[in-house]
Homo-oligomer: A and B are copies of this chain.
Amino acid sequence: MSGFHLNLSLMTPGHFRHAWRRDHADPLAYLDIDYFQRLARIAEAAKIDAVFLGDGPALRGEIEEAPGTGIDPLVLLGNLAAVTENLGVVITSSTTYNSPYNLARRFQALDHVTKGRAAVNIVTTGTPAAAANFGLSEHPDKETRYRRAWEFLDVVTRLWDSWESEWLVADKESGHYADLGKIHPIDHEGEFFSVAGPLPVAPGPQGRPVVVQAGGSEGGLTLAGDFADVVFTVAQTRAKAVAFRNDIRRRAAAAGRHPDDVKISLGVVVLVEATEEQARRREQELYDRLPIERLTAALLTNLGLPQDSFGPDDPIGADDLPETLPAGAFSTGFGISTRALIAEGPRTPRELVQRGAGGSGHRLVVGSAEQVADDLAEWFEAGTADGFTVMPAETAVDLPNFTELVVPILQERGLFQKEYAAPTLRERFGLPFPHRERAADSLPA
């Protein structure tokens, strides 16, 4: 069995968003490039495969209570790539609010300047407020967004393939620099885009930057099977994770790909200390920072229940819930997994709010370094994933804790790499080099 991959989320102050209220926390850390560079160097020293940042092109109202993301992740992670040598960067970009030519070009440039460490995490943007920043009267519906995303990725992939690898002539005597016969327009005309191509510059070391995809809807799964090199996902149980992975592998095979050519990276929120007791104590301190009354109100809204119908410590049972799930529930950190928890048995708003606010819908693992390492090893061995995207509960604390305490255990067990085995992220993820010539050959002359 080959070892697993580890990515680290740099979301600051952490996946416990109210962590900025802790005594030691710098409330402006997410605007501080020195802070991020320190984290990137720590991650690289631990041989982490890549760092990751989510994104959405709009201000979120939650800023009243907690800092979020907001800095363009291409710019931020591009900077971190420049001060590291092996660390990959997984950069979230919207297919709804970008043009495919600019995006393809930008990530190809990043692949050149990082020497093959660029990955794009394709999202369709779930924040309705984004639409008004881009001249749309309303946010396109999910089905439309995913139809656009499919065409977007088709165009981007063909643009990345628009130069064959034998394009360079560079004959100083004759003055012939490039063979235009090896550089092909794509002449795409589709529902959403009309793009002539080719890109203005040759492909970088990876051929194509790594494509990551994260949505779990039918449209997202189709995208994953057809285009994704890596799929980020969420699962609260091993059975669900295994089923998801098998489904994605089947979809990739159905699209004519080898099932091993798509890797699953499972999100997990980690809160880790040397001992379980210390970890539990810090978890409680983080919960104490939650505005429990406001979050209970938000939870009730998300569950479709009247305000004040339940207090923070009143159990809610499955019979109390309305039949249909409100729209947009996941984006607030509540929703599907919350309902699943209630289905298992009655839960109080406090329990659910703590789960939601901590994990943002992802599985939360709290414990000693040994416990966290055991957890990841067991989930990996159960076939749930090809690796994990670790989301620190408090980034400034749990990222160093994870790399210093958990990673050495995983390395000692032979699960995680002790050295970077290859220069490019694509090779490290065990992904094939794209067949550029084949793609180019299929184009009209």
- Determine whether A197 belongs to the interface, using a CB cutoff of 8 Å to chain B: yes
Q: Which of A20, A58, A63 has the most CB of B within 10 A?
A: A63
Note all chain B residues with C-beta closer than 8 A to A81.
79
Note all chain B residues with C-beta closer than 8 A to A289.
175
- Determine whether A340 belongs to the interface, using a CB cutoff of 8 Å to chain B: no
Partner among B59, B65, B71, B78 whose Cβ is within 8 Å of the Cβ of A78: B78
Question: In whole angstroms, how far apart are the Cα atoms of A97 and B196 in the complex?
Answer: 14
Question: In whole angstroms, how far apart are the Cα atoms of A193 and B132 in the complex?
Answer: 10
Task: Give the residue name and chain of the B residue nearest to A30 (CB).
Answer: B201
1/0 per residue, CB under 8 A from B, across A281-294: the answer is: 00000000101000
- On whether A170 and B200 interact (CB within 8 A), knowing A82-B82, A113-B76, A177-B67, the answer reads no
Question: In whole angstroms, how far apart are the Cα atoms of A147 and B196 in the complex?
Answer: 25
Question: In whole angstroms, how far apart are the Cα atoms of A57 and B102 in the complex?
Answer: 8
**Least Cβ distance of A91 to chain B in Å?**
11
- Determine whether A98 belongs to the interface, using a CB cutoff of 8 Å to chain B: yes
Q: Are A175 and B82 in contact (CB under 8 A)?
A: no
Copies in the complex: 2
1/0 per residue, CB under 8 A from B, across A1-44: the answer is: 00000000000000000101111010110010100000000000
Task: Give the residue name and chain of the B residue nearest to A70 (CB).
Answer: B201
Which residues from 274 to 305 on chain A have a C-beta closer than 8 Å to any C-beta of chain B?
289, 291
Which residues from 79 to 136 on chain A have a C-beta closer than 8 Å to any C-beta of chain B?
79-83, 97-99, 101-102, 105-106, 108-110, 112-113, 115, 129, 132-135
Partner among B71, B194, B200 whose Cβ is within 8 Å of the Cβ of A60: B200
- On whether A175 and B65 interact (CB within 8 A), knowing A83-B83, A113-B71, the answer reads yes
- Determine whether A254 belongs to the interface, using a CB cutoff of 8 Å to chain B: no
Question: In whole angstroms, how far apart are the Cα atoms of A195 and B57 in the complex?
Answer: 12
**Least Cβ distance of A68 to chain B in Å?**
8
- Determine whether A199 belongs to the interface, using a CB cutoff of 8 Å to chain B: yes
Question: In whole angstroms, how far apart are the Cα atoms of A170 and B113 in the complex?
Answer: 37
Note all chain B residues with C-beta closer than 8 A to A172.
20-23, 25, 27
Note all chain B residues with C-beta closer than 8 A to A193.
135
Note all chain B residues with C-beta closer than 8 A to A69.
200
- Determine whether A349 belongs to the interface, using a CB cutoff of 8 Å to chain B: no
- Determine whether A202 belongs to the interface, using a CB cutoff of 8 Å to chain B: yes
Note all chain B residues with C-beta closer than 8 A to A78.
75, 78-79, 82
Question: In whole angstroms, how far apart are the Cα atoms of A20 and B174 in the complex?
Answer: 12
Known A-B contacts: A57-B101, A59-B198, A78-B82. Give 5 more (CB < 8 A): A31-B201, A59-B201, A72-B105, A74-B106, A135-B195
CB within 8 Å of B: which residues of A?
18, 20-23, 25, 27-28, 31, 33, 56-61, 63-72, 74-76, 78-83, 97-99, 101-102, 105-106, 108-110, 112-113, 115, 129, 132-135, 168, 170, 172, 175-178, 180, 183, 193-202, 289, 291
